[in-house]
Amino acid sequence: MKKISSYEGRQKHVRAMRMPEIEVWANQYAGRDFVVDLDIPEFTCICPKTGLPDFALIKVSYQPAKVCLELKSLKMYLIQYRQLGIFHEHLVNRLLDDFVKACRPRWMRVDVVMNPRGGIGTSVSAEYKKK
């Protein structure tokens, strides 16, 4: 018999939770292929099980289409995670969903490299390709 985890039901809210809007600005080189790389080395969120802080490096790479992500609003968006309990796997997917929704890129990849917790480091990646 499969044991039910004490994590059960703790993350049902992740896809529906409201977060600050990420602003964008017009890409003057929308006809050109180029890649934007963002590194966020001091990201923090909360472990949903223990309530202790988790620390991570977030890397975002994307090929803009008509607009680019505005960095101040991105920072304000990311700060909201400091008080949010979220699993690493849900974090990377929620970030990707919100970033893609904001800027509709041609392509985007989000990598989350968590600092080790309990001697185990976790890295999770998610990618979007425009169809």
Instruction: Exactly one of 54, 68, 103, 111 is catalytic; name it.
Output: 54
Catalytic status, residue 47: yes
Partners of 44 in beta bridges: 55
Distance (Å, rounded) from C-alpha 65 to C-alpha 32? 9
Contacts of 39 (CB under 8 A, 6+ apart): 57, 58, 59
Tokens, residue 94: 């929620």
Instruction: Exactly one of 33, 37, 45, 47 is catalytic; name it.
Output: 47
Alpha-carbon separation of residue 71 from 40, 42, 94, 104, 131 (angstroms): 11, 15, 18, 16, 26
Active-site annotation, residues: 47, 54
